[in-house]
Structure 1
Amino acid sequence: MTNSTDASFATRPKPSMLAVGSMILVIIAILTLAWQWLNTRHRFNEIEKSLSIKLEAYQALNQQSLALAKQAEERSTQANARTVILEQKLAESRDQQEALQTLYTQLAENREATAVAEVEQLLNIAKQQLQLASNVKSALLALEAADHRLEPLDLPRAVQLRQTLQLEIETLRDLPQIDMIALSAQLSYLTDLCSSIPLISERQPTLNSKAGKIPASAQSLHGAQQFWWAIWDDIKNLVTVERIDKPEPPLLSPEHALYLRENVKLRLLTARIALLQHDENTYKADLGMVKMWLNQYFDTKHPDTIKALVLLNKLSSNNISLELPQLSDSLAAVNSYKLMLEKNE
């Protein structure tokens, strides 16, 4: 048996070197292919892992993007809603603005008409002060108040009216200033003073200033002698002789004296009225008549008479004549302004 087997092996042909080399090459190629397949598989796995990681990251980013997009959409919806609300409010604001503009226009027109009415009233007050009381200061204050009332009206016609008022104001300011209150007070004081001045017939004789005084020559006398000397001095002063440089006026009865004093008061009263009317002729004529009566019928040596005469000379020297404006230009301008406003209505 053994021999037959060995014989069969012996009879087989031995493989050649080419076959062996080919086999080796095939094995190497298979091994190379296997290694490459494994390497490629490994790379594919790595790429697959990387792709899965990136895909997860992309999905996370996509979810964030979707969330942001949703938030943006919600905000856009809110913004659209707010825009609609703002448009509604804007439309309401425009309506309100138009209504306010209409109201402002009406108020402006009413304010202009009210201002013109007030200016007219102030001009009438100024005219009354000039015509009735000749009070330049009060009239000037009224005109300045009228000009100040027109100042907020920035309109050409208001500016023109203010220019007319400025001319009237300058005219009043150029007038000479007469202190009517002080002059009237002085006349009132003079009236009170003249009511107490004594007449010449009522004048008391002037006593000797040395009466009752013991001269130096009699001071050496004894007490009884000084007593008799004083009695003698009084007896000498019982009768006083004075020199009269002008004719003695006729004696006035108490009734005529009362009439004289009342005429003096009446003349001073008419002088005050003439002062208020700036009637210089009547004013000076009344004061001159009072001065003449004081010199003729009253005691000119009395201190009150001297004071009254000095005050009369001072009052007579004042110039009270004034040509007061009539404010006709300003009143005409205001009337034209009112007619223009009535036509616009």
Structure 2
Amino acid sequence: MNELPNNPEQAQPPGAPSTSLQKAEPLAAPPRAPGRSLFETVQQPLPLAVTVLAVLLAVQTISSHSRINSLRKDMALSLQKGNAVNAETAALAREVSDQSKELQIKVGVLESRQSEAQSQQLALEQLYQDLSKNRDEWALSEIEQVLSTASQQLQLAGNVQGALIALQNADRSLSRSDKPQFLTIRRAIASDIEKLKATPAVDMAGVALRLDNVIAQVDYLPILSDEKPLLPAAPARSVRKQESKAKEKQTPPAALTLAERVGQTWSNWSQEMWDDVRQLIRVRSVEKPEALMLSPGESYFVRENLKLRLLNARLALLSRNEATFRDDLVTAQETLLKYFDTRARATQSVQAALRQVQANNLQIEMPTLADSLNAVRNYKAKQ
């Protein structure tokens, strides 16, 4: 055991309340007892000081212990609270971490879906553009094909109405798209429509119908070689009989003398005999005698050749071949004059119909659809 210091300030334990011990003023030395030494006198208050210091040290130790225990309890409580808080914080942190992971996963899913949606939107926009472009290309290709066909029919057959219908349908198809890029094409189509409307029309159908009527009458036209004796006597006899009956009614037979009756009978009989003789012999002037020498088979081929000529003229009319059309009609007229009886009304009506057909002018310069076709092709080339 350590010895206690002699200095009371040094004897104060650490952590003890800071009691400032002031130095006591020096007291007057007690009077020495007689017979005691100085050393004995000095050693008398030491046990008391030691006792006081021991008590103070014990009190200080107990106080320090109690404070340390209380500090330990407070520290333990604080540590428990801190541990609880740390546990809660850790739980919250884990929960927040889990939620953040879930949110990150959801955000990743949303981002992937957004990217998919954007890619799908871009694909749809591209598809729509392609479809729109393809639709325009298909429409323009169809219009180009229709206009090309109409132009060919216009140049070959002069089908003005068909070309007009084709142009109007093309303009209607372009108007439904309602795109300003098609204004140039529509302007060219409108110009071609005006040109076609200003073109003089030829009644091709009417001319073709007249030729069909002529072709249908060929089988009934009289041919010179097949000519039968005319019978004008029969109607003449009937007329004379009616006249004689009227005279008989006017003058009764009793009023006529024998000579008058004999003269009347003789005139009637001689007139009838003359009519019969006139039917036996007929005199006609024919420019080409071979026309009278046709056999029945040759007459059939003459009619068929005439029909073929008229059919060729009809085809030339529809194809607007002016030279072939007129050549066939001239040949048909010559055939009628050469082999058919031109005195018959049927032949005369056929000749009049052919002259009316020949009066039609097929030499009409048809406009082309080049402006519309070039506008469509230039627009397709720019795409």
TM over 0.5: yes
Structure 2 counterpart SS, 1:237: helix
> Which residue number corresponds to residue 211 of structure 1?
237
Of 120, 143, 148, the residue aligned with 2:172 is 148
Which AA in structure 2 matches 1:262? E
Match of 2:32 in 1: none
1:236 to 274, 297, 305: 274
Whether the 8 Å CA contact 2:223–2:341 is kept in 1: the answer is: yes
Match for residue 283 of structure 1 among 292, 311, 325 = 325
- The CA deviation string for residues 50-105 of structure 1, in whole angstroms up to 9 with x for no partner, is xxxxxxxxxxxxxxxxxxxxxxxxxxxxxxxxxxxxxxxxx9xx989999876664
In structure 2, how many angstroms separate the alpha carbons of the residues matched to 1:255 and 1:274? 29
**Residues 283-320 of structure 1, C-alpha deviations (whole Å, 9 max, x = no match):** 12211221122122211122211110110111011111
Q: After TM superposition, give the deviation of residue 110 of structure 1 in Å.
A: 3.5
Q: Which of residues 165, 183, 192 is equivalent to 1:168? A: 192
Identify which of 141, 148, 151 aligns with 1:117: 141
* Residues 192 and 369 in structure 2, CA contact (< 8 A), matched pair in contact too: yes
Q: Residues 212 and 234 of structure 1 are in contact (CA less than 8 Å); yes or no, is this contact kept in structure 2?
A: no
Matched, 1:249 2:313: no
Give the deviation of 1:245 after TM superposition. Answer: 5.6
Counterpart AA for 1:128: Q
Distance in 2 (alpha carbons) for counterparts of 1:239 and 1:287: 41
Contact preservation (8 Å) 2:224, 2:339: yes
Cα 1:248–1:127 change in 2 (3 A) is closer
Give 1:239's aligned amino acid: V
Residues 264-285 of structure 1, C-alpha deviations (whole Å, 9 max, x = no match): 1121111112111212222122
Counting aligned pairs with the same residue, the percent is: 35
Partner Cα separation in structure 2 for residue 260 and residue 279 of structure 1: 25
Q: 1:194 aligns with which of 218, 224, 229?
A: 218
1:278 maps to amino acid: R
Q: 1:310 aligns with which of 352, 357, 371?
A: 352
Distance 1:231 1:163, change over 3 A: same
Residue in structure 2 matching 1:181, options 202, 205, 208: 205
Q: How does 1:34-49 map to 2 (within 5 A)?
A: none
Give the letter for the 2:232 counterpart. L
Matches of 1:274 and 1:108, distance apart in 2: 45
Structure 1, unpaired ranges of 5+: 1-90
- Relative distance call for 1:249 and 1:157 in structure 2 (3 A) is farther
Q: Does 1:293 align with 2:335?
A: yes
Give the residue type in structure 1 aligned to 2:289: P
* 1:220-231 mapped onto 2 (5 Å cutoff): 220=248
Letter of the structure 2 residue corresponding to residue 203 of structure 1: E
Deviations 1:113-160 (A, max 9, x none): 232122112212312322443311111111111111111334343110
Q: TM-score, normalised by structure 1?
A: 0.62
Rounded to whole Å, the distance in 1 between the matches of 2:297 and 2:217 is: 20
Q: Which residue number in structure 2 is paired with residue 20 of structure 1?
A: none
Structure 2 CA distance for aligned equivalents of residues 158 and 239 of structure 1? 86
Q: Is the 8 A contact 1:212 1:230 kept in 2?
A: no
- Over 3 Å counting, the alpha-carbon distance change for 1:242 and 1:177 in structure 2 is same
Q: Which has the larger radius of gyration?
A: 2
Q: Which structure 2 residue ranges, 5 or more long, are not aligned?
A: 1-113, 254-260
- Code of the residue aligned with 2:243 in structure 1: it is A
Give the TM-score normalised by structure 2. 0.56
Task: Name the residue aligned to 1:272.
Answer: 314
TM-superposed deviation, 1:248:
6.2
